[in-house]
Structure 1
Amino acid sequence: MEYVSTRGEAPAVSAAQAILRGLAPDGGLYVPNQWPTLHLDLKTIGQQSYQDLAVEIFAAFLPDFTKAEIQAVVQAAYGSQWDTDKIVPIKDAGNNLYYLELFHGPTLAFKDIALQALPHLVMTAAKKEGLNKEIAILTATSGDTGTAAMAGFADVPGTKIAVLYPQVGVSDIQRQQMVSEPGKNTYVYGIEGNFDDAQQAVKGLLGDSNFATFLKEEDIQISSANSINIGRLVPQIVYYFYGYGQLVESGQIKPGEEIDVLVPTGNFGNMLAAYYASQIGLPVADFTVASNENHVLTELFQTGVYNKNRDFKVTNAPAMDILVSSNLERLLYFAGGQDADLIKKDMADLQSQGSYHLAEKTRAGLMKFSAGWTDQDQVEETIRKTFVASGYLIDPHTAVAVHQYQDDGHPTLLAATASPYKFPQTVLAALGEEVIGGEGGLTALAAATKTTIPDQVKNLFQRPIRHQTFIQAADIQRQIESALKTD
């Protein structure tokens, strides 16, 4: 198995090369040229540890990595930095709904699952490729990716990481996590604009010839921690199988029984991982894509038209405030029969016109996908109703998905993507409590709900501020080059 570009104009590469490069030279995203064969026994995977299951799935998608290398990556990624030995526990919500809790890592968001592994994948890949260069990680974030990426790469020898985040839209907790990150190899920049602007800046730099010349002169290998990197995607496949195994082990489903998957998503990586899981043996009946008021994805699945020509809305589910969904390209590639020419046309139309229309064969390949969207008032109402009914506290992104849930008879794994303590102001407002910023918001939420502030953020606001640079888009390349030159 090798990795090829969705746009068909870049040579096939190994998994290690795909991880190091992040984005293919033709602007496409790396995808496997064939699905690996796994011999997972659905009867017994619930008896495996998260780490053992991760080793099997990593090995299938990273065939040029040795078992010993993969075991070392997994051991480093899923250890004592998690607040539960299960890594991803399940919560039974009743009515065939099960929360897949993805927020027990060091930054309280699902991004930790991939980004605790990615630094070790990158460094292992570099060693395999004989690279002695410094590795620079460049990433855009709507809040969670930046914090999780820096938590993973902080002070990793031979690396630097630069994060771009929009000044408006991130929560107090997300911002504090980023600007107080103590890693000496980390650089954080607030930029004017929204996440799409930050993401486009990263993609633009990765494809810029002048920047490439700079990197060559400085002997730097550039990559990305965004979900455009296949090294971000592979670790996310694991938790869907692990969740399924837990349902089998607890007697909620029989081995081989189909489930539904419900994911709140903006950039589509989390849902794409569920689709990849289904292609290698996870029995899935339906994929439900849950959007917020930036519902470009919902419209695509309902109408076949992707149109980013609309007002960008800053919402109370900020990690989903996205109009250009990068990972969707990977799904459309497979849904359309791996037709790279079709992907090139659609992506060119998106660039020139801001929209594209799916071909009939692509729409036919998306028959298992449904979608809906949730507005901000419904987010708050869902948080309140869920807590009143069960005492279970959810964050606004999870609420987007909960509001879309309909019991169709299949057990449903719902990706609970973040701790409510990452968004205390929104949750306080939803519960009818006084909205308090900063550290006071954490204390107020704990008092109002009789829950405990997670250790991961308990002392967050006592950390000194290290990153206070705000830049305009035109200054991004200069700032990044300056950071990468810094000894």
Structure 2
Amino acid sequence: MNYTSTRGTVAVNETYALLHGLAEDGGLYVPSLFPTNCLTYNDVKDKNYQEVAAVVLSKLFPCFSEAHLKEMINSAYSDANFSTRDIAPLHSLLEKVSVLELFHGRTQAFKDMALSLFPYLLVAAKEAEGEKKEVLILTATSGDTGKAALEGFKDVPGTHIQVFYPTDGVSPMQAEQMQKQEGDNVNVTAIHGNFDDAQQFLKRLFVDKDTAEEVAAKGVMFSSANSINIGRLAPQVVYYVNAYAELVAQGAIHEDEAFNVVVPTGNFGNILAAYYAKKMGIPIGKLICASNQNNVLTDFFESGTYDMNRPFYTTISPSMDILESSNFERFLYYISGEDSERTAGWMKDLKSTGKLTVNEEEFNRVKANFAGAYVDDEETKAIIEQVYNSYGYVMDPHTAVAMGAYMKELEKHPEDGARHTIIASTAHPFKFPTAICEALDIKVGDTPYESLDNISAVTGVAFPKQLEALKSKPLRFTKAIDKENMKQEILDFVDTFSK
């Protein structure tokens, strides 16, 4: 299968796209010929998560042999990496609402679902391409991607990873997870700025030929672990396909019955993966895009205009504190009718004016698949409290945003209540101790760990062993730099391992 850029017509093979991440013209790689309607219930019936992954990913990466793909998948989704053999279990909250728990991996966030497999895909792609350079993974994070990428690439031969995160844009527990990261090939740096600042810089760097030549002379090349890389996005499709199979197996829906999906998202990758599952034949009905107060996506789904010219808010759901959603470009490509020239024009508009608008025909394609709603911090806390008091279930702030968006969409469209809905739960609640304490009126401790002990005592939720283990680990990465110094930080890191 070939992959092409959302902004151009040059086609590359799968392993090139996996290895390089971003296209040379600044666009994102998408399948030249998308495998539309290639999945049925019989393809995934009675299969475990690993087997479903092999079916789905063989459609997107047919370059890998069946045996090799299964080997990588089984290594990624092992008992060593996930605390439940179901990998992504469904928790029944209401008769028509299930919570898809995506936080049972090494870092208790949905990013583990892709970043447990992606390093295997990248190393395999590197070998297939005959690439001898050391690969430096450059990653911007709003909280969860960074730790998951660090854990995934920790001490993987031939790779190194540099993560940037905003000083005030992650929870204390997310910060500790990154600051205490182990591994000889990792570097973590905070920046005085927000996630968009870090992400925009890295996207510019990926198409900076002078810097690429400078590091190439030292035997190094850049790649990405953000979902701009198709190797990060593709494994996320799997858990929506698997959830569909589980719903049918449980008798919650019939095999040809549509179900809705609600996804809390800032960078748009997680909900785009659900859209990919739908395009591949899974009977997903409405995709509800849940946002926090940084509601640029909600406004787009209501108006057809994406406008970044607005205040940036730091919220209690920090992984969604994003105004420039990178994967949104792939979605625009599809609603344009896969018109790369049209997509390139939109991205030029976004860069020059901070906004873009789709036409009526394109907006009709949007509304045929998507809806959007947003929830502010006070509403988020109220939902955490309401769900716990009603069902004894503790949601993290991002999952609560999704629940709130579902409730708001249900008010506008009561008929949706007759259709089964999946809420994508993207993080373990213990990653956000202060928000949970405030929502449930539990005493906030002097440290995050004291707060978590208090939460555990009240709710009975067990302390995840990975977070418990953080207590005794030393801080390794405490540097904070101005965002203008990111390039120098990268070059300095390159000098520590380059030839």
Structures share fold, TM-score greater than 0.5: yes
User: Which whole-Å deviations, capped at 9, do the CAs of 1:327-380 have from their partners, x for residues lacking one?
Assistant: 011011011100111111111111011111112232122122111000100000
Structure 1 residue 412: Cα displacement: 0.8
Structure 2 CA distance for aligned equivalents of residues 44 and 67 of structure 1: 15
Question: Aligned residue for 1:417?
Answer: 426
Structure 2 CA distance for aligned equivalents of residues 238 and 454 of structure 1: 24
Structure 1 CA distance for aligned equivalents of residues 126 and 338 of structure 2: 29
Counterpart AA for 1:211? T
Structure 1 residue 35: Cα displacement: 1.8
Structure 2 CA distance for aligned equivalents of residues 253 and 346 of structure 1: 39
Query: For 1:442, which of 452, 461, 471 is the aligned residue?
Result: 452
Question: Aligned residue for 2:403?
Answer: 402
1:345-360 alignment, distance < 5 Å: 345-360=345-360
Question: Aligned residue for 1:305?
Answer: 305
Structure 1 residue 215: Cα displacement: 2.1
Structure 1 residues 473 and 251 mapped into 2: Cα distance closer, same or farther (>3 Å)? same
1:72 counterpart = 2:82:
no
Could you tell me whether the CA contact under 8 Å between 1:191 and 1:471 is conserved in 2? yes
SS of residue paired to 2:217: helix
Counterpart AA for 1:196? D
Question: Aligned residue for 1:288?
Answer: 288
SS of residue paired to 2:471: helix
Structure 2 CA distance for aligned equivalents of residues 230 and 316 of structure 1: 29
Question: Aligned residue for 2:413?
Answer: none
1:362 counterpart = 2:368:
no
Structure 1 residue 117: Cα displacement: 0.6
1:60 counterpart = 2:21:
no
Structure 2 CA distance for aligned equivalents of residues 334 and 444 of structure 1: 47
Could you tell me whether the CA contact under 8 Å between 1:336 and 1:361 is conserved in 2? no
Structure 2 CA distance for aligned equivalents of residues 381 and 48 of structure 1: 38
Counterpart AA for 1:388? N
Deviates more, 1:384-393 or 1:399-408: 399-408
Question: Aligned residue for 1:453?
Answer: 463
Structure 1 residue 159: Cα displacement: 0.7
Could you tell me whether the CA contact under 8 Å between 1:195 and 1:321 is conserved in 2? yes
Could you tell me whether the CA contact under 8 Å between 1:438 and 1:461 is conserved in 2? no
Counterpart AA for 1:481? L
SS of residue paired to 2:442: coil
| Structure 2 alignment gaps of length 5 or more | 411-415
Counterpart AA for 1:153? F
Structure 1 residue 41: Cα displacement: 4.0
Counterpart AA for 1:387? Y
1:109 counterpart = 2:118:
no
Structure 1 residue 43: Cα displacement: 4.8
Counterpart AA for 2:428? S
Structure 1 residues 185 and 290 mapped into 2: Cα distance closer, same or farther (>3 Å)? same
Structure 1 CA distance for aligned equivalents of residues 292 and 38 of structure 2: 37
SS of residue paired to 1:63: coil
Question: Aligned residue for 1:381?
Answer: 382
Question: Aligned residue for 1:277?
Answer: 277
Q: CA-atom RMSD, angstroms?
A: 1.2
Question: Aligned residue for 1:235?
Answer: 235
Structure 1 residues 228 and 409 mapped into 2: Cα distance closer, same or farther (>3 Å)? same
Structure 2 CA distance for aligned equivalents of residues 429 and 251 of structure 1: 37
Could you tell me whether the CA contact under 8 Å between 1:37 and 1:60 is conserved in 2? no
1:96 counterpart = 2:96:
yes
Structure 1 residue 287: Cα displacement: 0.7
SS of residue paired to 1:82: coil
User: Which whole-Å deviations, capped at 9, do the CAs of 1:416-451 have from their partners, x for residues lacking one?
Assistant: 110001111101110011222322122111112122
SS of residue paired to 1:88: coil
SS of residue paired to 2:72: helix
SS of residue paired to 1:462: coil
TM-score, structure 1 normalization: 0.98
1:218-233 alignment, distance < 5 Å: 218-233=218-233
Question: Aligned residue for 1:263?
Answer: 263
SS of residue paired to 2:11: coil
Structure 2 CA distance for aligned equivalents of residues 169 and 445 of structure 1: 23
1:427 counterpart = 2:428:
no
Structure 1 residue 197: Cα displacement: 0.5
TM-score, structure 2 normalization: 0.96
User: Which whole-Å deviations, capped at 9, do the CAs of 1:166-215 have from their partners, x for residues lacking one?
Assistant: 00020111000000001110000100110000101111211212211212
Counterpart AA for 1:311? P
Structure 1 CA distance for aligned equivalents of residues 451 and 342 of structure 2: 48
SS of residue paired to 2:244: helix
Question: Aligned residue for 1:196?
Answer: 196
Structure 2 CA distance for aligned equivalents of residues 211 and 95 of structure 1: 55
Structure 1 residue 107: Cα displacement: 0.2
SS of residue paired to 1:162: strand
SS of residue paired to 2:190: strand
Structure 2 CA distance for aligned equivalents of residues 265 and 252 of structure 1: 25
Structure 2 CA distance for aligned equivalents of residues 144 and 435 of structure 1: 22
1:119 counterpart = 2:119:
yes
Counterpart AA for 2:341? D
SS of residue paired to 2:205: helix
Structure 1 residue 38: Cα displacement: 6.8
| Percent of paired sites with the same residue | 43
Deviates more, 1:221-230 or 1:39-48: 39-48
